[in-house]
Amino acid sequence: AAPRDLEGLKVVVSAGPTREYLDPVRFISNPSSGKMGFAVAEDARDRGAQVTLVTGPVGLADPPDMAVVRIESALELRDAVLGAAQTADIVVMTAAVADYRAAELKGEKQAKVAGDVSIHLTPNPDILAELGCEKGGRVLVGFAMETHAGVERAAAKAARKNADFILLNYPTQAGTAFGGDDNQVTLVRADGTHEDWPRTSKREVARRLLDEALRVRGARTS
């Protein structure tokens, strides 16, 4: 049986992609499966935490015994996460948030026209960075997918967003990250210290992530 070492703690997890609609039937998104975030939420629940899982559209059923909030856009994700995070002890952002949304959401389906068209995109708010601005006693964890200079980029991200650590993964490894059941990540702290974790199941990555979050919390409150 799992240790009940998260008893009395509130954990908020974001998962999956966001959808940024261009018109009522078209959107920009990404292939995030939600599996990593669901694994974190399930491990936290099994260790006794009160869990809120905020997820974009994924092909996974609501896990039992936690609050599940289904959202589509980054702006909806932001409202749900910032609301739930008010009283949270640990926030884990695994969601693959779209960096941009359409500057204008068309109310009607856009008809095809001859020739090229362009879409004006505007940046989405960075939810993890917003949480980092008013961090309080919370432990903040992010994920980052990089194709190059991963450790430096992830450390810079952790520092800029005021996250305690980021789990870095790579889109190119077979069976890991997007869609896979396994993950191979590097733990990267804002100060640049890092640890390569072995390739293992997303559930085991989740367990180690929550162990590290508890260590950070213990170091802060002792």
φ/ψ region of 164 (left if φ > 0, alpha if ψ in -120 to 50, else beta) reads alpha
Task: With residue 77 as reference, give the H or E element that holds it.
Answer: helix 74-85
Binding mask 153-192 for ligand C5P (x = CB under 6 A): ----x-----------------------------------
Binding-site member from 42, 46, 126, 212 for ligand C5P (CB under 6 A): 126
Q: Which of 56, 142, 150, 180 binds ligand C5P (CB under 6 A)?
A: 142
Q: Give the nearest distance from C-beta 115 to ligand C5P in angstroms.
A: 32
Segment holding 92, helix H or strand E: strand 90-93
Contact call for residue 6 and ligand C5P (CB under 6 A): no
How far from chain centre, in Å, is Cα 142? 6
Q: By CB neighbour count within 10 A (0-12 exposed, 13-18 middle, 19+ buried), where does 198 fall?
A: exposed
Residues in contact with ligand C5P, counted by CB under 6 A, come to a total of: 12
99 is in an annotated binding site: yes
* Cβ closest to ligand C5P, residue 27 vs residue 143: 143
Judged by CB under 6 A, the stretch of 19-27, 54-62, 122-130, 203-211 that binds ligand C5P is: 122-130
State how far the Cα of 97 lies from the Cα of 18, in Å rounded to an integer.
Answer: 5
Q: Applying CB under 6 A, does 206 fall inside the site for ligand C5P? A: no
Strands (E), 124-198: 139-145, 165-169, 182-183, 186-189, 194-196
Helix (H) or strand (E) holding 132: helix 127-133
Could you tell me which stretch among 25-33, 55-63, 125-133, 174-182 binds ligand C5P (CB under 6 A)?
Answer: 125-133
Name the nearest CA neighbour of 57 among 81, 38, 40, 32: 32
Q: Is 156 helix (H, G, I), strand (E, B) or coil?
A: helix
97 binds ligand C5P (CB under 6 A): yes
| Positions 33 through 92 that interact with ligand C5P (CB under 6 A) | 74
Tell me which residue has its CB nearest to ligand C5P.
142
Q: Which of 55, 124, 183, 186 binds ligand C5P (CB under 6 A)?
A: 124
Q: How far apart are CA 71 and CA 64, in angstroms?
A: 18
- As to burial, measured by CB atoms within 10 angstroms (0-12 exposed, 13-18 middle, 19+ buried), residue 23 is middle
Which residue, 111 or 133, is less far from ligand C5P as judged by CB? 133
Q: Binding site for CTP: what residues are annotated?
A: 99, 109, 125-128, 143, 157, 161
Binding site for ligand C5P (CB under 6 A): 74, 93, 95, 97, 124, 126-128, 142-144, 157
